[in-house]
Amino acid sequence: MTMLNVRDLGVAFGGVQPLSGVSFAVERGETLGIVGESGSGKSLTAMSVMGLLPLSGGRITSGSVEFDGQDLTKLSEKAYRNLRGGRIGLITQNPMTSLDPLQKIGPQVDAVAVLHLAMTPAQARVRTIDILGTLRIPDPALICDRYPHQMSGGMKQRIVIAMALAADPDLLIADEPTTALDVTVQAQIIRLLDDLVKERELALILITHDMSVVAQTCDKVLVMYAGRAVEHGSVGAIFDAPQHPYTQALIGCIPRGLSAGEQLTCISGTVPSVMNYPKGCPFHPRCTRAHDICAVTPPEFAISAAGAVACHFPGDAP
């Protein structure tokens, strides 16, 4: 069942258009990876789904965000507030800053169930301890009495995940959930998210810049560049036969642990700033395959069953 269906999403901040033509869908029990470099619009996409754009002065200018059949772009702020942290959970990148340093862990997690499930604080605490337990946090009752500064980064990230799960969401958006963590801790958290998707039939959107994390966990991938979707497909297809030169470069620039001696592919140049996205295909100044048309006409992005690619000259890597 389709949990979230985003069609042709466009976002503007004043006269600047940092996001346009983004489409994707996530089913129950499925993980969608959204990948791209910093400034590609990944987090902005998450903010749009969460309805948090107005906080920073942005607005949705085109397209639809359908959650369980309901168009969120037409939702009132009050209705959105019920959804946010309720049926849609968010895990932010930096667990160090997403917890209140002055409040103990217990009340912070309890608040979610009190607010969204109309529980009493005592009921909520029972639920909190239960959730912390399923996240394999040792001594959950003891942890509730701790402050964030008394815990490690990995433990804090698990608390943030517990908060996102507390109201039993249907959709979970994880924005770079492991970027601030060590590799062994990252592996623990990824395993945890994987288990949650399977056990709870969650729909998970995993935002990351790391293609190896995508390869390990995702079912589908959306590659973004300069505020546009450039390629979409199943994880097998994207890694087996990436069609967009940007996707190919993103995969090629990761050093592989097992096979020593191979060359890293580089993408020359840098991600364009949102203030001056190039005309035509935004990737053309850095693309080895660019022709005249790429600098003039933006390529179409149309989703089909097999996937989609926004490129005038798609094809396997040379």
The C-alpha angle 121, 158, 66, rounded to 5 degrees, equals 80
Piece in contact with another protein (CB under 8 A), picked from 5-13, 80-88, 103-111, 250-258: 250-258
191 binds another protein (CB under 8 A): yes
The C-alpha angle 30, 33, 39, rounded to 5 degrees, equals 155
Neighbouring C-alpha atoms within 13 Å toward the C-beta of 183: 2
The full length of the chain comes to: 318
CA distance 161 to 155: 10
213 binds another protein (CB under 8 A): yes
Find the binder of another protein among 28, 87, 200, 209 (CB under 8 A): 209
CB of 236 to another protein, least distance (A): 6
CA distance 244 to 224: 11
- 8 A C-beta contact, residue 237 and residue 290: no
Nearer to another protein, 167 or 178 (CB): 178
| Residue 225: φ, ψ to 5° | -145, 130
CB of 183 to another protein, least distance (A): 4
Nearer to another protein, 2 or 216 (CB): 216
249 binds another protein (CB under 8 A): yes
254 binds another protein (CB under 8 A): yes
CA distance 205 to 202: 10
- 8 A C-beta contact, residue 206 and residue 23: no
Find the binder of another protein among 165, 235, 309, 311 (CB under 8 A): 235
Piece in contact with another protein (CB under 8 A), picked from 55-63, 81-89, 197-205, 207-215: 207-215
Residues that bind another protein (CB under 8 A): 37-38, 136, 152-155, 182-188, 190-192, 194, 209-213, 215-216, 235-236, 239, 249-258, 260, 264-268, 270-271
